[in-house]
Structure 1
Amino acid sequence: MTSMVGGGGGSIELLVPEDVLGIGAGEDLLIVDDSETNLIAYEAALEPLGQKLVLARSGTEALGKLLDRDFALVLLDLSMPGMSGIETARMVRSRPRSKGTPILFISGASPSTETMLEAFEVGALDFISKPIVPEVLRAKVSVYLRLQERTQQLLHKATLLRDAYARLERKASAERERDDATGAAVRLEKLQEATAALADSRTPEEVAAVAVRLGTLAVAASSACMWLTRDDGSLSVAGNHGVPEEYLERWRSIPATSNIAAMQVVRRRQSIWVENEEDYAREAPDAIEAARAANRVSPFAALPLVRKDRGIGVIVFSYSGPHAFTSDERKFLLALVGACEQALERARLNVAEANARHDAELASTRKDEFLAMLGHELRNPLAAMVMAVEMLRMRGATVERETSILHRQLSHLSYIVDDLLDLARITRGVIALRREPVELHHAVASAVETVQPHLLRLRHELVVRVPENLVVDADRHRLGQVISNLLSNAVKYTPAGGLIELTAEGQGDFVTIAVRDNGRGIPSALLSDLFELFVQGERAPDRRDGGLGIGLTLVRSLMHLHGGGVAAHSDGPGKGAVFTLRWPRAVTPSMTRRLPRSSKSELRAGQGFRVLVVDDNEDSAEMIGALLETMGHVVEIAHRGDSAVDVARTFAPDVALLDIGLPVLDGYEVASRIREMPNCTATVLVAVTGYGQPEDRVRSRQAGFAQHLVKPIDLEILRSVFAELRPDNVSS
């Protein structure tokens, strides 16, 4: 649809904005699906939006509804009997009143590329997959409704602009020069083009690109530039057209304290029109002398971009030669600015929504990973403790080994719980420091003692170089906690037989403490987020590294509380890492082994089985093995997947209790290899793991496991597993 506006014997063809923007003409939602169940689900999901919902059960019925009224949005099932979704969409688009109505296709399966292309050709804006997630459906519909509202506002503004220019043309005198009429025609054309392009702009940069390009052409300017405000009040270039590179580099960023014309326009929210040197001196007194010296006293217009009575940017149109702004040009630029303000608001909402969605997805992913790690970390020590307690109950005599295990595992649990509690205290801001002068070498010695068992187990070499005269201002306990965490981190991520160095030196009012290792290193992509909560390096499936991903977060938080800082550096994977603390200075001077035999481990005729126990948690494996021996079984223990395969080859177990998360080979691979051994074809496989979700049980069953036991194992359940094994079901 077009209209003719003209004066002085000429005429100008104007595009009607409705044709360019293509939006739904109504306010209700039309939902089309042949399934009554689906319609009920969509109705329930969209009811909170407060829009009237109209339901149709076929394409034909939907077309009938469209004859009765207009709709804001159509949700259309892709696959329906009779008239398909694509055929229905094509009929909807063929009707002039509904050719711009947005259509969202609902697909039960992932459509082919050809189907998607065909759908977009007939006017689809998006796809939603079944089964629908009510929140996702509601969010998508809400977005399109909000976009439609903004587009309607922009459409209203465009209509006003069109009418304004129509009135200007009707009032134009018969003496208007042909070039004036040509210029007005160009501006009207660019306005319509800008209206359509701004409606499609999704980001502030896209809005700026449209405004400076079409605005420059419409008012015959030499160049144009749009700056947008940052959070700190400074201005940053969002888009430019024809601006010389040397000028652009100088003014790409304008400080909030600057007094140049562009910043003054943003502060005052008033336009500046400079046509001559007098105007320049009045509007830009701080720049007039420099402009004269450079012979750049040129006309320009600077117009503010405003949102809610606050300046959000400025757009400047400049000329290289003389120019006087006509009333027509001024009205055009003000109208263009108004359209830009609407488009920028819509772009801001789009960007904010995308960022919020990304942040929510990232937070949800980290939360899920943390919960999974927490369950696994707590179950391993609990399993060993439960078995130790059962042994105490059964023996009632020699308890030294069991109490030692309980002490060790309870300490591990206490460490985990203490970290979680410290994190909660720091997050709530209720942690209190007891600061005092602390001799650093004593604190380091205590921290080294804490990690000494792990150093010995992994055969690491630790080199400590800490002068005895260094004294720091610290909470003694927190200082030891920070150093222990960094040492534990180095031990954890350094392969066996590695080198770890701890050095310290005074630097002015601070003491620099560095922990270096020659371990796995840190990928550059991870360095920026390394100290964030729940962030960890890449973990092996067996989770032999352990940890909850909160240790480095605690280190950073405790350093900030002390007025210091921490930094991490690595040259990349396989090149080690170094963690550096800046602490305020005080103002004062074998993997496979056989369980020891006891008299109870002798086979009792018809009762004992050969049992292979495989678990990388040595305490847990030892306790399970001891319990099985007291039940009259012969037990072999392995702590790695490859070791388990070697033992099974010679031991030929009747029963194999396999942890799933094992080093080298996981439990599934171990089970597969045992099944291939001629002497283990009848071996009964039992999964013993910290993972107990339904999908974990399904996978273990598919892998050939007869049972899936979740740590900590109940003794009665373990006994019942062996009670169910009949002699004719196991190898002799």
Structure 2
Amino acid sequence: MNRTAAPARTSTAARPVVLVVDDQPENLRALEAMLRRDDWELVLARSAREAQEQLLRRDVAVALLDVQMPEMDGYELAEHVRGEERTRHLPIIFVAGNSREPQRVFSGYETGPVDFLYRPIDAHVVRSKVDAYVCVARRRHAQQSREERFRDLLQTASQAVWRLSPADARVLEDSPSWRALTGMSVEQWREHGPLAGVHPDDRERVLQAWQAGLRSRAPWDIEYRVHRPDGRYTWTLARAEPVRDERGGLLEWIGANIDIHARKEADAFRDMVLGILGHDLRNPLNAMMVSAQLALMRAREEPVRTPLERVLTSGERMGRHIEQLLDLTLARLGGGIAVHPVAADLREVVEQALEEVTVGKQRIRLDAVGELKGAWDVDRLLQVILTLVHNAVDHGTPGTPIVIRLDGEAPESVALTVHNLGPVVPESVRNAVFEPARRTDPTRRHGARGLGLGLYISKQVVLAHGGTIAFESSEAGGNLLRVRLPRYSAT
């Protein structure tokens, strides 16, 4: 073993380094015999000066320092270690002659771990102490590697990367990528903080997101527009990730603004086309339906009436699809579906909806408790109830009951649940049932009768009333769609 020559500074992927400093060769040999292991690198230094050279070249996990050395003893060396930024948090184990030897005053207890060993040294004790500090160093290095990979990924995948302070989101360092995206200097950025360059219409949302992130100390993301050097605004997706130390304390926020302007423009164009398509299909469909109804009124022979009835049934189905396309456009472009509440009784609304159900009606049971009066948009609520019932009929096990339960016992709200005993829905699908064009079971043929927008639009209607909607599925309990509506929403 070469005790004086030091290799290049180790990377985070190398074995942890344990540094032992003692001017007595016999003490070094004894500690070497106790601490020699394959999963860490043991480095021996015969003086404080030699130890300083090793600390400059290596990332040391823990240092064992003899307190009695000529020229510079262990306490003086430790003061130098604590005075350097890169080693100020290094764990130090002082090795003293015996427990009765007076301990010197040492000012570095606050910045990093400090421990003591007394001769004669117990091999099991010294190995246990060193192993504990090495484990901490491994976790810290693994975390640093993850953070480095995260930063590299952000640099390659993002348009702007930044670092902010943990408590108040102050800018920690200049970001050339942020300056390239916004045209703002680091001084302007520091002056305005997280709202720098944000579109005026988006500032309140961004501020709320930041405040929520600072409170929860959890990752978050938000889409908003930022100012570009040419004076226009571009849509970005901002993602913030908390960086923590080995004790879980928050060190900083690191994040990025990813350019999503092209995607937003494509989404807006798609929604515009859907809106135009839905609107322009109404007139020819209405003309077709009126003509079929007039022909049916005059038809007497069954071979003529049957295809006309089929035309009307198909036209009604097409009309529902067009309404869903228009609702989707309203929800995506208009910021939500408008509702017009009027005084109503929820039980009467449900009974009216059930009159329109044609398939599986005999399986449905309605239970109601409490006061069920409030103010809601009845037409929209009928739409929601029919969607939930049709969903239960389509995806329930044939022949099993479907239970609609209304609960009006809460003073401020009413609850509506629709339960069926269909197959359990996988969690990956369960979390996406309210997304557009997603179905709980796309392999079922009758599930293809709609556009996959029913539950999405139902959620938008419920949210427009100030309510909530949720889906539950389990092997024991079956499938349950749960809606809660305030009796009188603020809409």
**Same fold by TM-score, threshold 0.5 exceeded?**
no
Q: Which has the higher helix share?
A: 1
TM-score range (shorter-chain normalised) is: 0.3 to 0.5
Radius of gyration: which is bigger? 1
Q: If the length of structure 1 is used for normalisation, what is the TM-score? A: 0.31
Q: If the length of structure 2 is used for normalisation, what is the TM-score? A: 0.45
